[in-house]
Structure 1
Amino acid sequence: MHNIYFTRHGETVWNVENKICGMTDSPLTARGQQQARQLGELVRDSGLHIDEILYSPLSRAADTAKAIAAATGLPARCEPRLREQCFGKYEGTPRDGAEFRISKTHFADRYVGGESMMQLAQRIYNLLDELKADTGKTYLLVAHNGIARVVHSYFYDMTNEEYAAAGIKNCQLVEYSFG
C-alpha cells in the first residue's frame, strides 16, 4: 500500500473571471504564483515523502509544479495525460452557465469540439493504474479541477451529482492511498 498526492494549479486569470479554462492556457495570477510557492514550502517543511512531481503540460500547472520543485528540490516531469479536459465550445464561458451545468452530467457525450468525461476518465484511470503498480515511488500530481474530480472518483464511489459538484481549491493538497 502506498500514497499519491494531488494538487490543483494556482489561481489563474480565468479563475478570477469565473471562466472555464479547459485546454485554453490561462496564466497564473500573482496570487496563483504565490500560492504555488507557498505550497512548495508546505511540502518541503511537512516531511511528506514524495519522490517525483508529475504535471500537466498546460502552463498554469507546469508553472505551479516548477515552483514546488524549486522549493523542494524534487524532480518534476511533464505527464501529458494530466492535461485538463477539453471542454470545447464551453471554454471561456461562465463556469456556472446553465447549459454547461447540464452538459457536465452527460458523461458519454463529447462536448462540441472537445472530449467526453468517459474519455477523460480513461486516460486518468490508466495513469493511476500505472502509478498504483509502481509501488516504489510516491508521486505528487499537479493538474486541474476536472482532473481532481476524476482522481477522486478513482478512489471513492460518487454519484453523478457528487461528481459534477466535486472540486478542490487552487493549490489544495489532497492525499490518496492505493489500497
Structure 2
Amino acid sequence: MHTLYFTRHGETVWNVENKICGMTDSPLTERGRQQARELGEAVKASGVHIDEILYSPLSRAADTAMAIAEATGLPARCEPRLREQCFGKYEGTPRNGGEFRVSKTHFADRYDGGESMMQLAQRIYNLLDELKADTGKTYLLVAHNGIARVVQSYFYDMTNEEYAAAGIRNCELVEYHFE
C-alpha cells in the first residue's frame, strides 16, 4: 500500500465570479496565490513524505504547484492528463446553472464541443493506474475540482448523484491510499 495526495488549485477570478472554468485559463486571485503558499508551508511543516508534484498545464494549477514546490523544495512537473475537463458550451456560465447541474449527471454528454465524463475518467484512471504501479514514489497531484471527483471515484464507490455533487475546496489537501 502506498499514498497519493491531491489538491485543487487556489482560488481563481472565475471561482469568485461563480463561473465554470473548465479548460478556460482563469488566473489565480491574490487570495489563491496566498492559499497556495500556505498549503506549501503546511505540507512542509507536516512532515508528510512526497517525492514529486505532478500538476495540470493550466496556469491556475501550475502556479499553485510552483508555490508548493518553492515552499517544500519538491520537484514538480507538468502532467497534461491532469488538465480540467472541457465543459464546452458551459465554460464561463454560472456553476450552479440548472441545465449544467443536470448535464453533469449525463456521463456520455460532451457538452456541445466539450469532453464527456467518460473520456475524462479514462485519462485520469489511466494515470492513477500508472501511479499505483509505481510503488516506490508518493505523488502530490495539483489539479481541478472536476479531476478531484474522478480521483475520488477511483478510490471510493459513488452513486451518480454523489459523483456529480462531489468536490473539494481550493487548496484542500486530500490523502488516498492505493491498496
Scaled by the length of structure 1, what TM-score is found?
1.00
1:111 Cα deviation after fit = 1.2
Moved over 4 A (4+): none
Determine whether 1:16 maps to 2:16.
yes
Letter in 1 for 2:32: G
TM-superposition CA deviations, 1:61-111 (whole Å, max 9, x none): 000000000000000000000000000000000000010011000001211
Stretches of structure 2 that go unaligned for 5 or more consecutive residues are none
Q: Give the aligned partner of residue 26 of structure 2.
A: 26
Q: Give the aligned partner of residue 61 of structure 2.
A: 61
Q: Give the aligned partner of residue 45 of structure 2.
A: 45
Letter in 2 for 1:166: A
Q: Distance in 2 between matches of 1:169 and 1:110?
A: 25
Determine whether 1:102 maps to 2:102.
yes
Determine whether 1:151 maps to 2:155.
no
Letter in 2 for 1:72: T
Q: Give the aligned partner of residue 112 of structure 2.
A: 112
TM-superposition CA deviations, 1:31-63 (whole Å, max 9, x none): 000000000000001000000000000000000
Q: Give the aligned partner of residue 4 of structure 1.
A: 4
Stretches of structure 1 that go unaligned for 5 or more consecutive residues are none
Q: Give the aligned partner of residue 172 of structure 2.
A: 172
Q: Give the aligned partner of residue 131 of structure 1.
A: 131
1:3 Cα deviation after fit = 0.3
Q: 2:154 aligns to what SS in structure 1? A: helix
TM-superposition CA deviations, 1:139-164 (whole Å, max 9, x none): 00000000000000000000000000
Q: Distance in 2 between matches of 1:133 and 1:89?
A: 36
Identity among equivalent positions (%) equals 89
Q: 1:89 aligns to what SS in structure 2? A: helix
Q: Distance in 2 between matches of 1:165 and 1:26?
A: 22
Q: Give the aligned partner of residue 86 of structure 2.
A: 86
1:113 Cα deviation after fit = 1.0
Q: Distance in 1 between matches of 2:127 and 2:36?
A: 24
TM-superposition CA deviations, 1:5-55 (whole Å, max 9, x none): 000000000000000000000000000000000000000010000000000
Q: 2:118 aligns to what SS in structure 1? A: helix
Across the aligned residues of Structure 1 and Structure 2, the Cα RMSD in angstroms comes to 0.3
